Amino acid sequence: MTPMSLLSRLIHEVKQVGLVTLYFFLCFSVVLTLKKLLLASYQIEVYALSAAVIGALIVGKVVVVLDATHAGTRFDARLPLGLAALYKTLVYALATFVVLSLEKIFHEYRESGLLGQALVDAWTHRDRNIILAKVLCIGLAFTGYHLYAGLDRRLGEGTLRRLVLSRE
């Protein structure tokens, strides 16, 4: 691979991951701003910016990777756009649930230093409402992403973005 093709591939990857990350950053910022506003009435301070940035960086890269796998593309050509987007949203939301659970286990492990104890603590101290709220919010963001990406693919890559961003 020549240095110029490597550079152009790197620019393409950064642009692709960057746009997806920006979309999820905007989605997470809205959700976390609403959380901050709701908790403000109880005098509870929440710092949302860092969570939105970190979450968007992680989800953006995960989405780009999953979109390149068979699980992410298996129904793109065979199903109507809405059903393909629903399938992807469910798969990605399930993956999100697994990641959120592993994150909780990791934090418990850092506290106890024992994996067995971390699993027990994560299971007994879980807050189903918080987990469900996170998965629902992220699932809605996934739905918007998959519908947009599916429309863009079917219209020709970049066509939808030009339609959205152009004056005509």
Q: What is the pLDDT of residue 1?
A: 60
Q: Could you tell me if 74 and 148 lie in one domain?
A: yes
Three-state DSSP class for 14?
A: helix
pTM summary value: 0.81
- Dihedral sign for Cα atoms in the order 35, 129, 87, 65: positive
Q: Could you tell me if 89 and 33 lie in one domain?
A: no
147: pLDDT strictly greater than 70: yes
Q: Could you tell me if 21 and 88 lie in one domain?
A: no
Q: Could you tell me if 80 and 161 lie in one domain?
A: yes
What is the domain extent for residue 100?
Answer: 69-168
Most trustworthy range by pLDDT among 11-15, 131-135, 153-157: 153-157
- Look at the chain and count its residues: 168
Residue 84 lies in a domain: yes
Amino acid at 95: A
Number of domains in the chain: 2
Q: Could you tell me if 90 and 7 lie in one domain?
A: no
Q: Could you tell me if 92 and 167 lie in one domain?
A: yes
- Of 163 and 72, more confident: 163
Spatial separation of the C-alpha atoms in residues 141 and 129, rounded to whole Å: 18
Q: Could you tell me if 88 and 145 lie in one domain?
A: yes
- From first CA to last CA, the distance across the chain in angstroms is 40
12: pLDDT strictly greater than 70: yes
Q: Could you tell me if 83 and 165 lie in one domain?
A: yes
Q: What is the pLDDT of residue 45?
A: 86
Amino acid at 97: F
- CA 37-89-142 angle, to 5 degrees, is 40
Confidence of residue 57 (pLDDT cuts 50, 70, 90): confident
Residue 87 lies in a domain: yes
Q: Could you tell me if 80 and 156 lie in one domain?
A: yes
Q: How many CB atoms lie within 10 A of CB 125?
A: 9
Residue 95 lies in a domain: yes
